[in-house]
Structure 1
Amino acid sequence: MDVAWWQVLLITLYSAFAIYDGNNTTMGFVKPTMAGFFAGLILGDIQTGLIVGGTLNLLVLGVGNFGGASIPDYMTGALIGTAFAIFSGKGAEFGISLAVPIGLLMVQLDVLARFTNTYFQNRAEFFVKQGNLDKAARMGLWGLLPTSLSRMIPVFLALVFGANFIESIVAHMPEWLMSGLQVAGGILPALGIAILLRYLPVKENIPYLIIGFVVAAYLNITVLGAALIGLALAILGYQHFSKNENSTNDPALANGGMEDE
């Protein structure tokens, strides 16, 4: 499959917009699921994009770059991984296995971008001290440049030079390596859920965890159905908690509905 110039342009521009969105708003374009969907939409295979992006999204649940910390950039990984999965014809597992090391590599580029951005921020502080707020504001805009380029350049190079290379690489890959990549791609969702569970109060909510596992593993219902069951359990839990809270705060209810004489 050959990639058109407009596909390269749109996906490259999306990488810049998505990282801006991730640093400034909560619209969700930086999420791997959205990145995979967009790449799949542009390249004509939405299903593969959603599988790649959704799997990578499991790896970042409960993980955030608080305090300016750099974390694996699976948004970029989803864009490139989806493209390579579609180019190669080897399916989503292949794209996922490539996207993970790409996301880890992007940590180093993210650190470099943040380091470069300090120049513009220092200049902005200098202009603020001089009372020149217009120039200070422009420095804030210029500060977007290194962060955007740190995503645009890898995506652009991968899309321009990666299609033919990836096809030739896949053709010469040994079967044992391809099988290993597929196994790794299948393990990643479980790894992401395990990471998320470390941050959740599992001991206090183990019954809900068991119910969710049974619903997902044995009842053979859709994801939407499982989500609705989870919503119902959450509402019941909230109502029970609210009733207990009201009983504790109301002396009459705490004494069985009878006030002390």
Structure 2
Amino acid sequence: MGILQMVLIALFVYLGSIGSIVGNTIGWYTLGRPLPAALVVGLILGDVQTAMVVGLPLQVMYLGNVTPGGAVAWDLSYATYIGTAGAIVFGEGMDAAALVGIATVFAGIGGLVGQLMWNFSYALNLPINRVAQRYAEAGDTGHMWVPNVLLGQTIGFLCRFVPAMIVLGGMTAASTQADFATMIPDYVTTCLTTFGGMMTALGMGILLSFLVKQSWYLVIFMVGFMLVTYFNLSMMGVAILAAIVAVVYYKSDTLKAVKGVE
């Protein structure tokens, strides 16, 4: 992978993010989706066929990707651009199943890096609000583009382009996938995993703060948690059981209300 190819892929990692300079419609909802991202990487690296082979499964894999409570489980832009690039760089001569496996591994690495950078960029954007507030209080609307466009886009670009270049550079320097794995320090993997778990827990906490209107609602949450954790019931099974309970509760409550009116 040449320098120009690395720069182009890293640039699209930024362009495919939320709030990039091209807007969310072209960026996050188009360039940031797995299938278009795979096509872009395939065109840049000159192997569209391999890119499409891994792009379709990645599209299905991340089809249900959401950001509950504001927490990001995976960064799609990072995951798919890095994952597709990894499959093309290290998957020469492999069959489709092996290519998808390599793409999934590198998508996981890219997704974790993107998750960390996503929240890091949010933290860096906090002081910009104070800059915008000072301009607003002074009535200086002519300079509002500085915090809203210049500073915001600079932070977003650096938090995505630079880490992507580092990961892509490591992929280029490594001769095999195993060599690339040895280049990642253990403390980096530990930090990414720990931070990712913290953000998932934070997202769940924020989501519960919206859903739990009364303290006893937590009992319902704990029942679901117990069924999954200790009774090994699948999420679908819990969802079906919850739907049954909800319907029975609604019907019984409705019948009580009707009898009360009569």
Q: Same fold (TM over 0.5)?
A: yes
- Aligned match for 2:138, one of 113, 130, 140: 130
Q: Could you say which residue in structure 1 is the equivalent of 2:11? A: 13
In the TM superposition, 1:1-261 aligns within 5 A as 3-20=1-18, 24-27=23-26, 28-65=30-67, 68-88=70-90, 89=92, 90=94, 91-141=99-149, 142-167=151-176, 169=178
What displacement does 1:66 show? 6.7
What displacement does 1:131 show? 0.6
Q: Distance in 2 between matches of 1:51 and 1:57?
A: 11
What displacement does 1:135 show? 2.0
Q: Distance in 2 between matches of 1:124 and 1:83?
A: 38
- 1:134 match: secondary structure: helix
What displacement does 1:7 show? 0.9
What displacement does 1:160 show? 2.2
State the AA in 2 paired with 1:97: V
TM-score (norm 2): 0.58
Q: CA RMSD in A?
A: 3.3
- Give the length in aligned residue pairs: 179
What displacement does 1:21 show? 5.7
What displacement does 1:121 show? 2.3
State the AA in 1 paired with 2:67: N
Change beyond 3 A, Cα 1:171–1:136: closer
State the AA in 1 paired with 2:9: I
Q: Among all aligned residue pairs of Structure 1 and Structure 2, give the percentage whose two residues are the same amino acid.
A: 23
Change beyond 3 A, Cα 1:163–1:171: closer
Structure 1: 5+ residue stretches without partners = 174-193, 204-261
TM-score (norm 1): 0.58
Q: Distance in 1 between matches of 2:152 and 2:59?
A: 27
Q: Distance in 2 between matches of 1:53 and 1:22?
A: 22
Deviations 1:193-236 (A, max 9, x none): x999x99xxx9xxxxxxxxxxxxxxxxxxxxxxxxxxxxxxxxx
